[in-house]
DNA sequence: TATGAATGAGGGTTCATTCAT
DNA sequence: TATGAATGAACCCTCATTCAT
């Protein structure tokens, strides 16, 4: 039971510590995303994490440090490509729809993280740089590789790749914003969104044959 | 009668009041964009506006109301149609570029303003709804009429108008976000942005002739 | 119309001033009795009196002085006996019922004055002395004369007059208190109160014949 | 086990907490009775209680809650019946005198408290209701039972019990008012008060034999 | 004399952080 | 190391009072 050669890499103490840290971050993500950074109180986070207020300070140096901790989790975005590899089989448009759809869904439910972090990103320079480097740029990089590949394959016409990728990210972020802001049109048609964006992006607005 | 040179439309009192309100909003924009809504204190705003703390409450009902006041400035929607009328002469793409460009520029003038407001909008549901109603929806309505007209004229292929308009707004808002978040690609190429978006939106990503 | 020898004793200016002062006191009585002294604001009083905030300071030196002004009005209590003279015809008990009834009714409706003043009376020593001298003592004095007369007439058995009067006043104040505090029994049977008190005071609780 | 001498029932922590709450209430009673509820500041109360301002909020939800805490002390109703039981031996009048006397004395110990609370009760409807429910009604209930019993025993003539009880309470509250308001007659003869009230209530004002 | 906007001191309350246990 | 009560700085807002017009 207290097996010293247990199959775990970490001693029990360390494992418990790690778990507790995770619980705290989970709680922070939940509370902050629900109320915003400033309305969230250490006390409420501690309560949800089922630890004492003071305990949080054994794991994080203060409230701002919690945000940094949350940001670090965004690195887990790397799992993304893995999930989408399957869709890479199909043509560019299919992949786009699948990927966009998956991300939109992911965002909306679980990923309160962004909603928790974004506002502060604009205000805290350190956080801003971190966010840009760890999140936006990382995703942009993945997308750029992919779009470039599609261009090379002739599936997409020769475009300015970095710029195009930014536009894709912009629509993505913008749609989230509209939804959060309460736009009924966007909310009602959320499920068709990925396809609509794909239609627009791939076919354009020009009348058929006018290109 | 008691205004021999009548150089002003408003009596002095009213003019002073108006000016003071402007000064307060200016100060609020500056302080809030510098520190974020919550870090900004009424006291600091009052100091910058060179009024007493209490005076602010003669003009705004409270801190949230200051944000609403800033939003009203940001919207400034009235002049939009007028400016767009000129561009309505050209074809759809030209108009789109002109309008989008104009709006992006306008926004940027108020970039400080945006940095002050957007994060709050994302986090405060009531403010979000307000922003949506007072700003996004108004613009959406104008755009819908225009896009519908272009479709009727055959300049744009038959698309789902409301949805398409949302996508345009999404790119717009999203680009602002990326810029404010510090994305270098977006910032560096801000001036070509309108054209790039138009290219993407009108021609699509599909290789020529594949549509 | 602007008759210099008008039948008024005071010049028009002075009369207007007097009227305005009355309006301010009326408003003060209403607002203070409704919200209590501290919750009542000069602004609200000014609004109700239909004058500007600053104007009040031309008539009263400050908020506390308003209370003194209201207290002065309590002197008008002297009208009381006049109203009751009619009842003096009957026997002691009839008079008691009539008087008590009249005062209870009077208190409940118009005389917000007391409710406005009482709380402060406990806190402000000057006001306290004033209240005791101008109100409680004045009424006590009237009552004492009356009770003494009744005793002399043999309508009331020889009692300690001052003390008895205090007990009457105590029941009176206490009943108001119970009513204001929300006692249902007292409120429901308000109209029979004067008679009940008279029954108790005149007949006592002792079983008939046991006295 | 970790309390070798076990001299206390409560663990140290809990005892300290209890003590601190008492200290806060003591301070509140002192400051509020000295200055009145509104003039009393949390800061001053905290200072007198020798705690930090914020500490008060660990014990009371806010300033109004402090008043409620004081009221709870004032009521202290539990011990009432016990004390009265002894007096229940004698006849109705003896009991009345004993009980009334005891309560008047008890109240006076807490005169400071009363001065702190009563004015608010008069002005704040919610507090008034609370006072009524937690204090007046409880006592009324006890008294009703007793008076009914006395009526059944023939010690008191058949009266309207609830109403009579209210009148007793009214005298009680009213006497406190007069005393607190500074009436010399009431103050000087406080010790004979219970007997005087009993005389009045039991024998009435009517001349002997006239009932 | 009336006005009503400007003033700014003051107060209740919150909450991140500390630290004795 | 966990606890959670104590701390007290900081902030929003109110409102009595002043004073230029």
Which residue gives the smallest C-alpha to C1' distance to F12?
B42
Distance of C1' in F1 from CA in A73, Å? 25
> Confidence class of residue B27 from pLDDT cuts 50, 70 and 90?
very high
Q: How many whole angstroms separate alpha carbon C55 and alpha carbon C60? A: 9
Q: What is the pLDDT of residues D131-171, one digit of tens each?
A: 787 778 888 888 888 888 888 888 888 889 999 999 999 99
Q: Which of chain F's bases lie under 7 Å from a protein CB?
A: 1-21
Q: Does D154 touch chain C (CB under 8 A)?
A: yes
Query: Rounded mean pLDDT of A88-99?
Result: 76
Percent of chain C with pLDDT over 90: 25
- Counting residues of chain C whose pLDDT is more than 70, the rounded percentage is 76
Which residues, in sequence order, are CB contacts of A57 under 8 Å at separation 6+?
none
Alpha-carbon distance A6 to nearest alpha carbon in chain B (angstroms) = 46
Neighbouring subunits of B (3+ Cβ pairs under 8 A):
A
Which nucleotide's C1' sits nearest to the alpha carbon of C63? F16
* DSSP E strands, B7-161: none
With 70 as the cut, is the pLDDT of residue C16 above it?
yes
Nucleotide nearest to B44 (CA to C1'): F11
Confidence of residue D10 (pLDDT cuts 50, 70, 90): low
Averaged pLDDT of chain B: 81
Confidence of residue A207 (pLDDT cuts 50, 70, 90): low
A93 touches strand F (CB under 7 A): no
Q: Is A148 on the interface with B (CB under 8 A)?
A: no
- Where is pLDDT greater, at D129 or D86? D129
**CA C188 → CA A18, B44, C97, C175, C183, distances in Å?**
67, 57, 18, 12, 9
Residue A5: pLDDT band (50, 70, 90) is: low
| pLDDT value of position D205 | 64
What residues contact residue A78 under an 8 Å CB cut-off, 6+ apart?
A138
Higher per-residue pLDDT: D124 or D22: D22
C184/D contact by beta carbon, under 8 A: no
User: Which is more confident, D111 or A29?
Assistant: A29
Residue D50: its pLDDT value, please? 96
Partner-chain residue, chosen from B163, B169, B204, that has the shortest CB–CB distance to A174 = B169
pLDDT beyond 70 at B60: yes
Closest CA to A105 of A80, A141, A70: A80
Q: Which pLDDT value is given to residue A74?
A: 67
Provide the pLDDT confidence category of residue D101 given band limits of 50, 70 and 90.
confident
Distance in Å from F19's C1' to C54's CA comes to 10
Mean pLDDT within A87-108: 75
Q: Does A97 touch chain B (CB under 8 A)?
A: no
| Contact check, Cβ <8 Å, D170/C169 | no
Q: Which range (A202-206, B94-98, C53-57) has the least confidence?
A: A202-206
Q: Dihedral sign for Cα A172, A175, A177, A179, please.
A: negative
In this predicted structure, the answer to whether residue A41 has a pLDDT above a threshold of 50 is: yes
* pTM score, whole prediction: 0.77
**Over residues B133-156, mean pLDDT:** 83
Residue A169 to residue B189, Cβ atoms within 8 A: no
Predicted local confidence at residue D178, as pLDDT: 85
A93: nearest Cα among A195, A14, A172, A210: A195
pLDDT, residue C155, reads 81
**H or E element at residue B109:** helix B92-109
Lowest mean pLDDT among B49-58, B109-118, C70-79: C70-79
């Amino acid at each position: 039971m207290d097996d010293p050669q247990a199959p775990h890499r970490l001693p029990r103490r360390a494992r418990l510590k790690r778990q507790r840290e995770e619980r705290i971050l989970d709680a922070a993500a939940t509370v902050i995303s629900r109320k915003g950074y400033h309305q969230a109180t250490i006390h409420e986070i501690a309560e949800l994490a089922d630890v004492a207020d003071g305990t949080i300070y054994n794991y994080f140096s203060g409230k701002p440090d919690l945000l940094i901790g949350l940001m670090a989790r965004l690195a887990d975005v790397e799992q993304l490509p893995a999930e989408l590899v399957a869709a890479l089989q199909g043509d560019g448009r299919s992949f786009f729809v699948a990927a966009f759809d998956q991300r939109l869904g992911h965002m909306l439910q679980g990923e309160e993280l962004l909603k928790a972090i974004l506002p502060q990103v604009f205000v805290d320079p350190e956080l801003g740089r971190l966010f840009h480097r760890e999140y936006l740029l990382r995703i942009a990089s993945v997308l750029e590789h992919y779009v470039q590949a599609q261009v090379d394959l002739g599936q997409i016409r020769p475009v300015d790749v970095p710029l195009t990728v930014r536009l894709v990210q912009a629509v993505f972020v913008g749609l989230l914003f509209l939804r959060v802001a309460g736009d009924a049109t966007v909310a009602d048609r959320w499920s068709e969104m990925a396809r609509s964006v794909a239609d627009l992006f791939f076919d354009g607005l020009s009348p058929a044959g006018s290109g």
